[in-house]
Structures are given as structure tokens and as C-alpha cells.
Structure 1
Amino acid sequence: MDREISKEVRIKARNKKLMQYGSIGAGCVILLVLLFSWTRSSVKESELVFSEVTKGTIEVSVSASGKVVPAFEEIINTPINSRIVEVYGKGGDSVDVGTPLLKLDLQSTETEYKKLQDEDQMKRYQLEQLEINNQTYLSDLEMRVKVSAMKLNRMKVEFRNEQYLDSLGSGTTERVRQVELNYQTGKLELEQLRQQLDNERQVKAADLKVKQLEYEIFRKEMAEMKRTLEDAQIRSPRKAILTYINDQVGAQVTEGTRLAVVSDLSHFKVEADIADTYADQVMAGGRAIVKIGNEKLEGQISSVTPLSKNGVISFIVQLSNDHHRRLRSGLKVDVYVMNAVKEGVLRIENASYYVGKGEYELFVRDGKEELVKRKVELGDSNFEYVEVVSGLQPGDRVVVSDMKEYKNKHKINLKH
């Protein structure tokens, strides 16, 4: 037979169930808190870099990579096929104008030059001889012209005399005709001689000019040989630092082989490369900024390579302060080519987050203890600022340090 459960037992059973349900509820609350805490990570404020949105001017630029090189660098090549006999310097030496750097074997070249000197003397004598022969020949022709002119004058007198005698009846018509014929023949012979003299003068003058031109060509070849011989005396062309020298004594070197390099290491310039898609924005005379760490050096584009190579064009930046203490040959630098100015635009500081125009998801400080992800459209930039097109307002504080670790988060708590 069933007994009725006492009221006290029923109360105890109910309380037990309530405690069980309460424990489950508390566990769920704790789990939710933990889950919420996990989805909302936290980060120390001191580990972040913030940039406040401001309104101002952006001088738009495109970035390029560059390398610092000496403002002056001259490569000295061997002008002849030869052999290194002696070396007088080593890399790093300071050299003055005319300082001997190394010695080549020049015996065969010097012998060839001496032969040219002898040939030069012979050609001078031949030219003088030609001038004398031409003058003698033309003088002989001139004398023949004078003699012919004198004979013609005598024939003319004879002709007149015969005409006079014939008018008196003392001469004969046959004699007059003969003398007249001689006179006319003499005139033609004189004219022929004069024409021959003029022609010979022109021919001899042309021959002389040809020989003189040949001699001038020879003299230029000889001067080139002399210059080559002088260049083979390997000396420093100016005061500089010897940055390279071929010190292999006895080594055979062919014409055009690099023997030494002298550089001015007190003044520098920047050789830069940029994608050819920006070719229309890189022009000689344009302004450029060279960044070395936190240092900014002003410069001007002095020349641009007209041809693209592997999708890249090269240009040279002449620095206003080309002897800055941070400049070192071979140093890699960032180059910014300035090409436009935008005034009165919203802007934030440039940092590694920016990779070009487009939409970004950036964390913005919302209140004092929280960062909220926000979609932002960014525009042009320079090495200092990025243009804000939309998504931010003046006074907003934006995280510009690396936040890749939190790319899947929408809100982040700030810890002090």
C-alpha cells in the first residue's frame, strides 16, 4: 500500500532540482562570458601606434627603390691588348690627378708609334717634293706661254709689214696669206697653252689637296695612337678614392678590359628603379624625396632611362645635400617621386598597412577601452600621409601598426 510522501521530503527534492538547474545556468553564463571574452580579444594600448585623422595637404608621390652610388665614378679600361707589369695601388687608396695606378707592357705599341713618327717625316718630305715639282711644272708652262706670246707679237708685226708692202705693190698676195696663216696659228697655239696652264693649275692644286688630306688623316691616326699610348699609362683622372684595381701582375688584358675604378666618395647620387606603369609620372627635373631611416633628403630627377627593362625604368636623383653623413655607397633607400598636390583632404599617417588605393578594414578607437573594425576607402599617398576618401571623420584615432593577428576580429578590448 502506497504511502503519501511527506511535505519535508518533497521540499528537499525540489530544492535539489533547483540547485541542479542553477548550477547548469551558472555554467552556461560562465561559458558565454568566456566565449564573449574569446571573441573579443584584448591588446595593450602601448603596443599599438595610432594616427589621428586630420585635414590638410598631401603632396602625392609614387614610391621607388633606390641605391646610393658615388656622384662621380670612372671606370678605367685598357685601350690596348697588353699585359700588367706592375701595380702601384690598392682598393681604398686616395689618389690625386695623375697618380700612377698600374703599368702595362707597352713595348710593341711604342715601337709601332716610332714607326709612325718615321713615316710622318717621310710623308712631310713627299708633300714638300710634290709642291716643288708642281711649282716647277707650272713655271715651265708659264714660260712657254710667255714665249708663245712673244712669237705671236712678232708674227703680228710681220703680218702688218706684208700687208703694207702689198699695198705698195712690193709684196705678193701669196706671201700675205702665208704670214696671216702663221699669225692665226700662233694665236690658237697661245690660247691652247693658256688653257693648258689653267687646267694644270687646277689639277696640280687638286692633287696637292688630296695629298694634304691624306697627310692630315695620317696625322690624326698618329695622334690617336699617341693618345692611346698616353692612356695606356694608367693614371688617376682626378682626385678620388681607388675603389677597384686589377692587381694580377702578369695577367693578359684585352682592349676594353676594366683595370681600375676611381670614385668620389664625398658626394653621392641615387640610382632608382620604378615600375614602367608610372613612367608618365617620372620626368627629368621632377622633385624627389630620398628616405634613409627617418632622414629625408631632398633631390631632383636629373635623367630618366627612356627604355623599359623587365617592366622597370631607371632614373637618377641628384641630391641637394649630396654629402649627408648617412650616405654610403651601395646603401638601399626608398625614393618618393612627387607629382601632384591635394589640399584640404582627410589624411592619416602612412605605414605598412597601406599598399595602394582601395578599400581597407582598419581598427578605430571607439571610446576609451575598445577598438572597432571599420571599412575605409583610401586614395593617394606620399611617404608621410594617406588620403582618406571615406569611412573616417576628423578626430578619429586609427590603428596604423600591424594588426594582421586580429584580422578575424571585429572588436578588440584595450588594456592599459
Structure 2
Amino acid sequence: MIRDTSRQDTKIEAAPLWKNPKAIKSTLALGFAVAFLTWGINAWHSTGSVDHTLSLSRINIAQVERGNLVRDLVVQGKVIAANSPTLFSPAQGIVKFSVKAGDSVKAAQRLASVDSPELSSQLAQEKGQLNQLSVQLQRQKIQAKRQQMENQQKADLAEVNLIAAKRELKRSELSMEKQIISLLDFERSKDDMSRAKLEYRQAVQNAELEKESLTFETQTLELQLSQQQLQVEELERRVRELDILSPVDGTIGSLAVTQRSAVAANTPLITVVDLTSFELEAAVPENYADDLGLNMAVAINLGGSELPGEITAISPEVINNQVIARVRFTEAQPQNLRQNLRLTARVLLENRNNVLLVKRGSFLDQSGGRHVFRLNDEQQAERVAIQVGALGLRQVEIVSGLQEGDQIIISAAEELESAQLVALKK
């Protein structure tokens, strides 16, 4: 008979867990693993969203503050003569210069003369016509006096005939009352009286009408003479202008033609430069052309000092992506100015008070002024969308996105191009 195996097994009592070395090791290993995993997860949460790490020595940081922004523009320019008139030939002829380029001249000094035979001949003809009209006017006045005397004589004779007819009629009336003359003779006396009245009245009227006609003809000749006199005076003025005089004190800039050249009317001959009055000709970039305006203030840098000026003219055309503006000195002109001297000027475009400002930096070029990296309390810089306003020479206006006291990165770095959050380290 086969017995069971109950007698072959030996019952072993289970030992407590704290007395088991293997269990203790396993528990400790599991605890360390959980702790390390928790630390890794926390570390990942704290640094996992940081895109890059930048050293503070590689960046420039500026603080947003409130103040006044002067929007200006620095331009380069050259000093030019404000007054440099060009003189032209008044008529066709041969020009003869009395000066050379570079000579100093005074106002009203003769610079050149133009010999114009055509203009001189025309003046002589017009003067002859003027003398002829003057003689005709004198002849007309004499003729008018003679004609008026003849008309007055006719009127006087008609008046004498009228008086005689009145006397004859009165005699006929007396004779008719005494029956000395016939009725036919009396009627004839009355007819003679009526004829004499009519002739006298017509003679007086003809004399007055003839007088008006002679006066009108005399006035017509006087008007023709006056008109001819104006033409002669105009030609005399043009002949006087054949002597070209300097309009200002200055220097001869250039001669447009050579000596004894044949020139047409209105041909440029000579340029006079007034060295007592200068202006600055500044080249302004095209994108600032809309911001320019007349009488806009300009600070001109001369030898380290700033001189006040203002814009007096703006060119309507764009040349080489630039607009030319004329700037004059508003105060006493410096004595050490010379033509073609290169100067720097600062155009004061705009002045804005009590706005948010930040120092200008290369972040404008990198981000286009659409966003910046603002520093937080955890040694990090986060991307923030902003809107910039006026751009000054040293500062930029912040319209939105930042507050007073914020610190931002104003320098450019490759790590900032696509990052959202950047860690900073010393």
C-alpha cells in the first residue's frame, strides 16, 4: 500500500517582510525609481517649453518708460548759394563779355553787352515814325485852326446877312403901312428874312460840327503819337538791356558761351553767384517724403554746434530714391560757410509728449517691429506681440503690447527668430 507524501513535505514558516533582505532591497529600488521619475517629470514641466537658452552677455536689454519722443531724421546735404541768377541774352546779336569766370563783381556792374543791329535798326525806324506822327499832329492842329476860322467867318457873314434882312424887313413894314411898296415887295422882304435866319442857323451848326470833327481827328493823331512813343520807349529799354548788368554782389560762376559768339534771344549767357546768402541742399530718403513740410524745423550741425533752420522748398521729383529739400538758416548766417561744404542736418519731423518709449535696437529689423521678447520673473524671455508707432533717432514709440517698466530684449539673435520662450543664463 502506497502512502501519501505528507510525510515528505516540511512546513516552513513565513518570515516577516522587514526581516526579508531581498524584499527590503526591492522596495528601496522601487522608491528610488519613483522619486527619480517624479523629479524628471517636474524638471520636464519646468524646462520642457523653453526653445533656446541665451547668455545675458550676448543680448541688450532696455526698459520701457514714459516720456517725450522727438521724431527726427538725419540727412546729408551740401551748402549752395541761395541766390545764383542766370542772365540771358535780351536779343539776337553778338555777345561781348567784360568779365571772366571767377571774377568778383558788384551790383549794377556791366558784365557783357550784346550788339544787335536788328534791334538798333528797329529803334531807328520807330523813332522816325514817331517824328512823322509828331509832324502830322502839328499840321493837323494848324489845319484845325484854319478850318475853325473859316467856319467862324461863314457864321459871322450869315449873322451880318441876318441883321441886314431884319433891317430890310422892318423898312418894308413901315413902307407897307404908308402904302409906299407893293405887297409883292413886302412878301419878298419876309422871304429874305427867313432865308437869312436859315443860313445863319446852318452856318453856326456847321461850325460846331466841323469843330468836333477836327477835335476828333486831332485826338486820333495824339493817340497814335502816344502809342508810337510807348513803342519807342520799349525799344529803348530793350536797347539799354543790351548792356547786361550784375543784379547782386558776388562772383562770376560760369560763362555759357564764348567771347564774340552769335547768340539768339533768351540764350543763357552768364551766371552770377551771390556768396553772401547760402542754403543747405539736403537729400531725404523717398519713404520720408510724405512727412516733409514747408517751414519744418531743422537742426544743422556745423563744427559740433547746431544751427537752427527751416525747410523752404521741396522738390516734386524723386531722383535715385531721394527727394531734394532746401533748408535756409533762420538766424544769422555763419561766416565760415563756403559753397559745396558737406554738412549733416537733423529734420525734426514730429514731437510726441507722454508716450511709451523704448531704446531703439536691431529687434526692429529682425521682427519688423511686430513682436519682442519680454523678460519675466523666472529668468526667461517670452515672445510678446507689439505695435510700434513713431520711430525716433534713438527711441521707438510703443503703441500697444507693453507697459511702463517692462524689460525687453532690443538686440537681435538667431535663437529669437522662431522661439516662443527663451531661458536666460549668466
TM-score range, shorter chain: 0.5 to 0.7
CA distance in 1, matches of 2:327, 2:359: 25
Work out the percentage of aligned pairs sharing the same amino acid.
14
- Aligned residue in 2 for 1:237: 247
Q: Which moved more, 1:123-132 or 1:158-167?
A: 123-132
**Kept in 2: contact 1:358–1:378 (CA 8 A):** no
Could you tell me which of 311, 320, 344 is aligned with 1:301?
311
For 2:254 and 2:139, locate their aligned partners in 1 and report how far apart those are by CA, in whole Å.
58
Task: Establish whether residue 69 from structure 1 lines up as the match of residue 80 from structure 2.
Answer: yes
Alpha carbons 2:173, 2:186 under 8 Å: kept: no
1:348 partnered with 2:340: no
Q: Residues 236 and 152 from structure 1, CA distance in 2 versus in 1: closer, same or farther, beyond 3 angstroms?
A: closer
Aligned counterpart, 2:138: 132
- Distance in 2, matches of 1:399 and 1:294, equals 32
Partner Cα separation in structure 1 for residue 149 and residue 77 of structure 2: 81
Partner of 1:268: 279
3-state DSSP of counterpart to 1:238: coil
Residue number in structure 1 paired with 2:201 = 187
Identify if the C-alpha distance between structure 1 residues 75 and 183 changes in structure 2 by more than 3 Å, giving closer, same or farther: same
Please give the TM-score of this superposition, normalised by the length of structure 1.
0.67
**Comparing 259-268 and 246-255, the one that deviates more:** 246-255
Query: What amino acid maps onto 1:163 in structure 2?
Result: L
Number of matched residues? 362
Larger radius of gyration: 2
Aligned to 2:13: none
Q: Structure 2: how far apart are the matches of 1:412 and 1:249? A: 80
Q: CA distance change for structure 1 residues 115 and 301 in 2, over 3 Å: closer, same or farther? A: same
Q: Which residue of 1 aligns with 2:389?
A: 379
Whether contact under 8 Å (1:82, 1:253) holds in the other structure is yes
Q: Report 1:171-320 matches (<5 A).
A: 171-227=185-241, 229-231=242-244, 236-246=246-256, 248-249=258-259, 253-254=263-264, 255-264=266-275, 267-270=278-281, 279=290, 282-289=292-299, 296-303=306-313, 316-320=326-330
Conserved? CA contact 1:73–1:263, under 8 Å: yes
Q: What's the CA shift string for 1:43-84, capped at 9, x where partnerless?
A: 856xx7765432112345688886643222222334445566
Structure 1: unaligned runs, 5 residues or longer:
1-37
- Structure 2 gaps, min length 5: 1-50
The separation in 1 between residues aligned to 2:364 and 2:339, in whole angstroms, is: 29
Counterpart position of 1:122: 128
**Alpha-carbon distance in 2 for matches of 1:157, 1:389:** 112
Change (3 A) 1:314 1:216: same
After superposition, the Cα gap between the structure-2 partners of 1:377 and 1:88, relative to the gap in structure 1 and judged at 3 Å, is: same
Distance 1:226 1:298 in 2: 43
TM-score, length basis structure 2: 0.66
